[in-house]
Chains A and B, each alone.
Chain A
């Protein structure tokens, strides 16, 4: 099963890439040990709630808008989107005056690892990232995710249907990410999305260097040190990859498995997609050069607070930007962050998306988009709602390699969608109905059925 799933997502990844990364030919062979998923998904598609949503304002996520439109959902999939659809005999939902969009996708979360309430154990020994070394490439963040984090329930009630959990930005090589559905389950693997491109976290700038500068730590203590450290690890991974290729061609012994090198070699082959924490324009440009030098494509620059100064570099590299609307100033490398970043990047043809880095902000990614668009308006750039919605749906789906499955309302797509009480970019709008895989995961009209984490269960102060 893991094997078949693996080949499936390789196909998806191949199709979704504008320019195939080097190494596609090698990937056609049976997967090397490092390409197998030791922690396979156990997510089970829920029993579908077929329905026809009638008369809504639809933003399809891919740039289209239909006023007074219908969406037909059957068997977990979107069957049709259009006006005056025929009802094949399913439940009808009156959506007049309301809006429908794809479910929100948050590509930068620490849910399940930065768990509220924060207590001493997690202050002293946090699961957000393995920080014993600047190279934690061997870690899989899913092995730390606490499925009982209430942040998943809050995200769902806010219309979020897909979340990428990333390791933190202290190590230079942070480790592998996991993509989940915010559904109630005993383990993260019951939430894990099969078929996403394997994500990976890297970091440059202040966070890794300040860790290195701490007493008793042996990491680099400067930007230049961090960049040099990365290049050295990529050179080692190149050698590791060649040794495996020689072995598979029958020309040498199997190298000893090295979990760190396996992951970094996976970046080089394009099997693993880098999510890079980076702020300053110069840091971003240096990293795009490293990607060029070693022949891989960085999936997205996260935070990317100065990407607006160098949009052409990101566009040429096919690298997306995952940004906030209004985090700025709190550290030196965030001094130049501006709210107008997303509309500026959109105008320049960069694949841009909103991201949260916070379970609070993750509940309002569309509001973040609204703030960004308003800042664009201040400098004469007008972004219509059908474009803004791409920042929280189809563009993040691209980064996750899931853009043929989610993030767009079109026939054949998995039915992850939200029925909003009004304009999704209004602070007053609520997620009335949230569908994941064509099943009702959240219904605001049925508060009794709302998911409650095991953690919150029976804690009196949380109950009326």
Chain B
């Protein structure tokens, strides 16, 4: 009951009201990466109150009564955001009863993972300890190809409830591979096109307006009846269509879709996106990619290379990093792998500030249009580091989520401390 009231409060009141209990925080002597420019503000004082950033001022004074964190000249960045991961939906990936990434329901299309999101997961604790405060949580392929369901945004606050926002996008997977249940990718595109055409027709008949009215309801996500509903929102321009795909020919198909249907597409994966960089820039298609990939998992990814991020950025494509490291790392190290991947992208020619954008403001913009710069009025998710955040050897000293200091101790810390003196 208490929880219900809290949810209503969150849904109805402004975040500022809901957060009044949090005392103000002043971070002094920070190398503040505001993400407004390519260089940091030196010796900055960052004031946080009511869940928002109040000010970022060089040499500014800490207000009376504020909790002071002395950054000692070290970097402070917005909390990192992983552009595609499955933390909160997995605990032990080898055990089906701890996995919630996919619907296996043959009869009911549509899948909203919001109700499965688990902030008590050990994966979430470790990701937060590594500086992650936000993540796009995507669903795995369902039994209704080509659709997986609808990703959600997680806010890595302390506690079980880490849902930020549901209904972020419609998510489809296209390409070769064992998941494929309807055969040729030509058929996969045909299914997607037919669904979009149906949604367009339904939208023209006025159903999109109804869907629009239902938006903004209380979390968790509203649990759509079918994929068609999400696609009507895609057609209406309210949410993007995420297409997880890698091969150059498929990316070109996606570009054609944006033109024909006038929709916003986000490419996820995009191992060969660098081959289509200019066309992607022209079509304003963002790419969420794994900067570590340089070998093809499948024939779709023969062009995989670590210069993908640098080439796309130089061409003017907005990129974010996600699914970083693939396999185990993309979720079990959702914070660390993200930082390591961004660092590797820099080693492969991506300018440093662009790499930081790809793990902060870019994924936030791509998946929700939110600005998470360190500027007055922005949500107060930020991290104080003991060194360069893109160096895996750096440690997140303080992680602040929604204006509150969040836990940076994971189960790994407790085990390490318990056995520190084992002989």
Contact = CB atoms under 8 A, between A and B. Distances in A.
A373 B416 CA distance: 13
A117 B302 contact: yes
Contact of A116 (B272, B296, B412): B296
Nearest to B248: A461
B272 A374 contact: no
Interface stretch (B133-141, B254-262, B336-344, B399-407): B336-344
B395 A427 contact: no
Contacts of B415: 336, 338
Chain B at the A interface: mostly helix, strand, loop or mixed? Answer: loop
B45 to A, nearest CB: 27
A329 B90 CA distance: 10
Contacts of B104: none
B395 A154 contact: no
B422 A117 contact: no
A328 interface: yes
A367 B392 contact: yes
Given A335-B92, A338-B416, A367-B340, A344 B422 contact: yes
Nearest to A328: B332
Contacts, number: 135
Contacts of A312: 422-423
Contacts of A11: none
Contacts of B275: 461
B37 interface: no
A93 to B, nearest CB: 21
Interface in B312-328: 325-328
Contacts of A378: 395, 413, 416
A263 interface: no
Contacts of B296: 116-117
B297 interface: yes
Nearest to A206: B94
Interface in B41-91: 91
A152 B303 CA distance: 17
Contacts of A91: none
A116 B93 CA distance: 22
Given A311-B422, A427-B390, A117 B395 contact: no
Most B C-beta atoms less than 10 A away, residue of A337, A360, A364: A360
Contacts of B325: 360
B393 A373 contact: yes
A298 to B, nearest CB: 20
Contacts of B292: 360
A169 to B, nearest CB: 13
A310 interface: yes
Interface in A348-386: 348, 358-360, 363-364, 367, 370-371, 373-375, 377-380
B295 A151 contact: yes
Contact of B336 (A206, A326, A340, A430): A326
B423 A330 contact: no
Most B C-beta atoms less than 10 A away, residue of A117, A329, A371, A378: A329
Contact of B393 (A123, A329, A425): A425
B417 interface: yes
Contacts of A359: 295
A391 interface: no
A448 interface: no
Contacts of B336: 326, 371
A interface residue count range (under 10 / 10 to 19 / 20 to 34 / 35 or more) = 35 or more
A222 interface: no
B416 A123 contact: no
B347 A427 contact: yes
B299 A330 contact: no
Interface string A405-442: 00000000000000000000111111000000000000
Contact of A459 (B297, B302, B328): B302
Contact of A428 (B93, B178, B346, B423): B346
Contacts of B395: 374, 377-378
A309 B419 contact: yes
B295 A379 contact: no
Contact of B347 (A311, A360, A377, A430): A430
B300 to A, nearest CB: 8
Interface string A122-147: 01000000000000000000000000
A339 interface: yes
A107 to B, nearest CB: 19
A309 B416 CA distance: 9
A311 B422 CA distance: 7
A332 interface: yes
A462 interface: yes
A116 B295 contact: yes
A461 B303 contact: yes
B303 A462 contact: yes
A150 interface: yes
B107 interface: no
Contacts of A425: 393
Interface string B84-115: 00000001111100000000000000000000
Contacts of B123: 329
A340 B419 CA distance: 10
B298 A117 contact: yes
A257 B40 CA distance: 71
A412 to B, nearest CB: 33
Nearest to A368: B392
Contact of B297 (A117, A336, A364): A117
B122 interface: yes
Which 10 A-B residue pairs are closest in the complex by CB-CB distance? A427-B343, A331-B94, A461-B303, A370-B393, A340-B416, A461-B302, A117-B296, A374-B393, A338-B412, A116-B295
21 contacts: A117-B302, A150-B295, A312-B422, A326-B329, A326-B336, A327-B328, A328-B412, A344-B416, A344-B419, A348-B422, A360-B292, A360-B294, A364-B340, A370-B391, A371-B392, A373-B393, A374-B393, A378-B413, A425-B393, A427-B346, A429-B347
Given A309-B419, A360-B325, 10 more contacts: A117-B296, A118-B297, A119-B299, A123-B178, A326-B333, A332-B95, A339-B416, A340-B412, A459-B302, A462-B303
